[in-house]
Amino acid sequence: MSTTFQLDTATSRANPTPQPMKRLTVPAIQRRKVNGKTAEPLVMLTAYTARQAQLLDPHCDILLVGDSLGQVIYGLPSTLGVTLDMMIAHGAAVVRGSYRSVVVVDMPFGTYEASPQAAFIAASRIMAETGAAAVKLEGGQAMAETIAFLSQRGIPVMAHVGLTPQAVNALGGYAARGRSDTEHEKILADGKAVADAGAFAVVIEGVIEPIAVALTHSLGIPTIGIGASAQCDGQVLVTEDMLGMFERVPRFVKRYGDIAGMIGETAAKYAEEVRARSFPGPEQTYQPKS
């Protein structure tokens, strides 16, 4: 039985209600790819809060506590300002709000690049303080040693190659990667390096589609595409982008809803009723007992 916490909005909004459900595991995710093929693609979305995790969990295999929360939650201009404490706080919330999905937490910029040992200190904090199943870090061949170091010490690692947002200053922007022969070969080499190092899966972001297809066919670990290809072993999007919370989204995002419009309309209706003194009404107020 799970020992995480489910939200019960009928009472305190955070009432512990254990559910008899077995959570997916990292090995179960790996086993979805058999002989180089994944019959049922992996579904992955970002989550940053317990309530969001509760709503997404039944539909996902993996919940990613992405450092995109810097922009989505905190209004930062990039992911570079995200701290380890931020990731741990939100990671713990997502674990509490989920029962089924494998929860993966992004390692923020500056917490793993210096050395494998520094990465282990940060990753072990994430694992211990959130209860997450794995961490994710960006980089290919340059991070292979670190991935191997963590994996050999019991910390599952999801890798991330192609467009790596934490390296946006070095890359010169968020344009798709792999248009030159040099970039093409580097991304393929990065994918092979992280797989050989022990990563259990790899996110392929913002690359020319043939690269994503080639990596998916050549690697024995699942590939998770974002701005890559439908032929990847799974897909991930930032949930708020997919829900239509922002006006500007990357080219590779498909909007499945208009939550921003719904919130605006609902807030406008509320404001109208408050100003007209029609809210609260008899159903929302307490009267003396007769």
Question: What are the binding residues for Mg(2+)?
Answer: 67, 106, 138
Tokens found for residue 141: 């061949």
Count of CB atoms within 10 A of residue 169's CB?
A: 9
- In Å, how far are 37, 71, 126, 213 from 95, measured between CA atoms? 29, 21, 12, 32
Classify burial at 280, counting beta carbons within 10 Å of its beta carbon; exposed 0-12, middle 13-18, buried 19 or more.
exposed
Tokens found for residue 133: 């199943």
Q: List the binding residues for 3-methyl-2-oxobutanoate.
A: 67-68, 106, 136
Question: In whole angstroms, what is the distance from residue 150 CA to residue 153 CA?
Answer: 5
For residues 38 and 79, the answer to whether their CB atoms sit within 8 Å is no
For residues 134 and 155, the answer to whether their CB atoms sit within 8 Å is yes
Q: What does DSSP assign to residue 102?
A: E
Catalytic residue among 40, 113, 205, 272: 205
For residues 47 and 94, the answer to whether their CB atoms sit within 8 Å is yes
| Secondary structure (DSSP) of 108-148 | PTTSSSS-HHHHHHHHHHHHHHH--SEEE--BSGGGHHHHH
- Which secondary structure element, helix H or strand E, spans residue 150, and what is its range? helix 144-151
Question: In whole angstroms, what is the distance from residue 149 CA to residue 198 CA?
Answer: 9
Q: List the binding residues.
A: 67-68, 106, 136, 138
Q: Is 205 labeled as catalytic in the residue annotation? A: yes
What is the set of active-site residues?
205
